[in-house]
Structure 1
Amino acid sequence: MALVAAILLVLVLLGFYLSWRATRLDRLHHRVETARAALDAALLRRAAAVLGLAAADGLDPAVARSLAAAANSARRAGEGDRELAESELSRTLRGALDGAEPPDTLVPHLDEVAVAARGVHLARVFHNDAVADTRRARRSRLIRLLRLAGTAGLPEYFEMDDRPPRR
């Protein structure tokens, strides 16, 4: 009788442990989804700030066209091309704004772009940290053996050039 009780206790404790691990993994996947949504919002905010800068008075028309084209390309990019389009927007921003002394009329727009660029960097760091934590948890033998991740796909890192322009 004591042996049956001990086995039953071990099975109950194992069930609680497995339930905890599955719940933790689910929370990690939810954290990745939330971080990805925040990253998407930050990228859209940066593209909108760049479009506002491109529409502002005092910017060279050729530079304004290239900024608007890069921002629109980044906004319309699909999942597979998004990293490249966002990196291209970062490079276009740096090429257009680095080293030039802006007119006073552009300063509010440049500040908005700088804040949005910082937001993109932070959102990308948080997203990639969440992906790293989830991937680390999913590497566990127990998680793989018992398929505690279910049908959830392995989250992907978001790699892009997010260096802001110098001011």
Structure 2
Amino acid sequence: MTTFIWVAVALVAVALYLSWTAGRLDRLHARIDAARAALDAQLLRRASVAQELATSGVLDPAASIVLYQSAHAARQAEDEAREVAESELSQALRAVFAEPDAMAAVREAPGGEQAARELTQAVRRVPMARRFHNDSVRAARALRRHRSVRWFRLAGHAPFPGSFEMDDEPPSLLTAEGAAGR
């Protein structure tokens, strides 16, 4: 009789552990979804601000075209090509705002201070949002690699989470101004 009790206690302990692990995995997947939504919002905000600047007429025509096309491509990109399109927007931002004259032109335009502040905030928030997303993905991947998760199929039919890899280095001029404006 005592053997039966110990076996029942062990089964209950294993069931509690599996239930706790499945709940943790579910919370991690929800955190990934929330982090991805936040990342998408920041990427959309950055592309929108870049498009507004490109169409404002304060930048030279060549810079405006490059910035507008990159921002438009980033906004319209499908999921498979999103990382490349966002990386190209980062490169375009670095190219356009490599010279202090470009930011000076933006600041001198009516409403330019606000536009410069929005752009600085947008390019600084993208790396943070991407880091939060990729950290959540890393945690979920680590848990999904455990034997108990694989053996008991605790992840269900959820797809294996993927990180978002892109060139998110902001223009040095914008990060220096953002740090100086604190």
Q: TM-score range by the shorter chain?
A: over 0.9
CA contact (8 A) 1:53 1:110 kept: no
Superposed, 1:113-152 pairs within 5 Å as: 113-152=119-158
Deviations 1:5-41 (A, max 9, x none): 1111111111111100010011111111111111001
The alignment partner of 1:80 has SS state of: helix
Q: For residue 113 of structure 1, report the CA deviation from its aligned partner.
A: 1.1
The answer for the alignment partner of 1:30 in structure 2 is 30
Q: For residue 129 of structure 1, report the CA deviation from its aligned partner.
A: 0.2
C-alpha separation between the residues in 1 aligned to 2:121 and 2:52?
13
Q: Alignment RMSD, CA only?
A: 1.1
Q: For residue 87 of structure 1, report the CA deviation from its aligned partner.
A: 0.3
The alignment partner of 2:87 has SS state of: helix
C-alpha separation between the residues in 1 aligned to 2:12 and 2:37?
37
C-alpha separation between the residues in 1 aligned to 2:161 and 2:58?
43
C-alpha separation between the residues in 1 aligned to 2:113 and 2:57?
11
Q: For residue 166 of structure 1, report the CA deviation from its aligned partner.
A: 2.2
C-alpha separation between the residues in 2 aligned to 1:107 and 1:54?
15
Task: Give the TM-score taking structure 1 as reference length.
Answer: 0.96
Counterpart of 1:62, as a letter, is A
The answer for the alignment partner of 1:51 in structure 2 is 51
The answer for the alignment partner of 1:71 in structure 2 is 71
The answer for the alignment partner of 1:39 in structure 2 is 39
Q: For residue 135 of structure 1, report the CA deviation from its aligned partner.
A: 0.3
Deviations 1:102-155 (A, max 9, x none): 222244322211101111111000000000000000110111111111111111
Q: Name which of structure 1's ranges 24-33 and 49-58 shifts more when overlaid on structure 2.
A: 49-58
The answer for the alignment partner of 2:7 in structure 1 is 7
Residue 109, structure 1, aligned to residue 115, structure 2: yes
Unpaired runs of 5+ in structure 2?
174-182
- Bigger relative contact order, structure 1 or 2 (CA pairs below 8 A, ≥6 apart): 1
